[in-house]
Amino acid sequence: MKQDQFSISLYSPLPWAAEHTYDNRHNSKKQAIRPRPFLLVLLVTAIAAIALGKSQPPSNLSVTATFTSADASGTITDIQSDGLGPYSDGVAGIGSILTSNGYNRQIWGDWQFDDLISTTRKVSISFANPIQPSSGGSVVPNPPFTIKDVSAHVEVKCTQMPNGTGAWNNMYQMKVGQTFQCPLIVHFFDSNGYEYRIYMGPNWEAGTAFAQVTCNALAADGGCADWFIDPIPAGYDANGNPIPGASIGDLLYFPAHSRTSPDEGDFYFRYHFHISRP
């Protein structure tokens, strides 16, 4: 499985920033990068630029996230809200942003969400649709529960993916009606503190499936301002409307103080996220 960094510091004023990484199947950690001699010149330049106000890092863009309880077909979703309504950035300990720290030096290209410090908000996750080895699953499914509200961090990583024109997928730069297929990760903690991650993206785990991001509307600044994030459609009806599908996700358990991450099986996940700029 490829490296799955949750955020990469692109605009730190120092040329050796501490990077918060979620590295392969290891627990997260801070990694201090030792400066090299030629970087000292860059340091002086960066400090001078900051002093002149010419190198301010871009801010993240706040967005509101709605995790619906059913997809467009009315089928109950496996990843949904706690029933308390939309999640607004900065409210009740919620983080919901288009991050300025994307892959490939992309700004505002990926959505990141978490309720890890919230004392009132959770995310509901269901493992009611396991895939047995006889049906193509990797191992016998062993979920920590069937359905529960948990503390979670969710990300789409569109900026990892080339868009076919020599550039990279970027949610902010999308046009109305445009779709991208992007990796999706759901990182959560069970009520006993055990850590798990669900990977949906064949660039991470073979046999899993990307999410599809769709731009619905533009803002006055020209950037996309409204998105749906869904499984790749199962097909299209006679009118060309997408038929909601389900993504295959691989569940991994991350034991404390261990370098191994046991595979807990594959599952089908339905979800319908609505992301909007306020």
Nearest to 28 by CA among 153, 150, 125: 153
Task: Judge if 90 and 118 occupy the same domain.
Answer: yes
For 227-241, what is the mean pLDDT?
93
Is residue 55 very low, low, confident or very high in pLDDT (cuts 50, 70, 90)?
A: low
Q: Evaluate whether 171 touches 212 at the Cβ level (below 8 Å).
A: no
Q: Which tokens belong to 137?
A: 């699953």
- State which of 57, 80, 102 marks the end of a domain: 57
Is residue 170 very low, low, confident or very high in pLDDT (cuts 50, 70, 90)?
A: very high
Q: Quote the pLDDT of residue 34.
A: 33
Task: Judge if 14 and 70 occupy the same domain.
Answer: no
Query: How do residues 187-217 score in pLDDT, each as one tens digit?
Result: 999 988 999 999 999 999 999 999 999 999 9
Q: What is the rounded distance in angstroms from the CA atom of residue 79 to the CA atom of residue 231?
A: 11
Task: Judge if 48 and 103 occupy the same domain.
Answer: no
Nearest to 195 by CA among 3, 28, 18, 1: 28
Q: What is the rounded distance in angstroms from the CA atom of residue 94 to the CA atom of residue 72?
A: 26
Nearest to 124 by CA among 167, 70, 180, 80: 80
Q: Quote the pLDDT of residue 47.
A: 41
Query: How do residues 35-50 score in pLDDT, each as one tens digit?
Result: 333 333 333 334 434 4
- State which of 23, 40, 57 marks the end of a domain: 57
Task: Judge if 92 and 40 occupy the same domain.
Answer: no
Task: Judge if 218 and 167 occupy the same domain.
Answer: yes
Task: Judge if 13 and 32 occupy the same domain.
Answer: yes
Task: Judge if 132 and 157 occupy the same domain.
Answer: yes
Domain count, the chain: 2
Q: What is the rounded distance in angstroms from the CA atom of residue 82 to the CA atom of residue 272?
A: 14
Task: Judge if 102 and 240 occupy the same domain.
Answer: yes
Q: Quote the pLDDT of residue 60.
A: 97
Most distant CA pair in the chain, distance: 64
How high does pLDDT run on average in the chain?
84
Task: Judge if 35 and 65 occupy the same domain.
Answer: no
pLDDT at 17 over 80: no
Task: Judge if 163 and 264 occupy the same domain.
Answer: yes
Domain housing 49: 1-57
Task: Judge if 52 and 89 occupy the same domain.
Answer: no
Query: How do residues 74-131 score in pLDDT, each as one tens digit?
Result: 999 999 999 999 999 999 999 999 999 999 999 999 999 999 999 999 999 999 999 9
User: Over the chain, what HEC string results?
Assistant: CCCCCCCCCCCCCCCCCCEEECCCCCCCEEECCCCCCCHHHHHHHHHHHHHCCCCCCCCCEECEEEECCECCCCCECCEEECCCCCEECCCCCCEEEEECCCHHHCCCCEEEEECCCCCCCCEEEECCCEECHHHCCCCCCCCCCCEEEEEEEEEECHHHCECCCCCECCCCCCCCCCEEEECEEEEEECCCCCEEEEEECCCCCCCCCCEEEEEEEECCCCCEEEEEEEECCCEECCCCCEECCCEEEEEEEECCCCCCCCEEEEEEECCCEEEECC
Q: Which tokens belong to 174?
A: 């999308």
Is residue 256 very low, low, confident or very high in pLDDT (cuts 50, 70, 90)?
A: confident
- State which of 57, 86, 103 marks the end of a domain: 57
Would you tell me how many other CB atoms lie within 10 Å of the CB of residue 214? Answer: 17
pLDDT at 223 over 90: yes
Task: Judge if 114 and 216 occupy the same domain.
Answer: yes
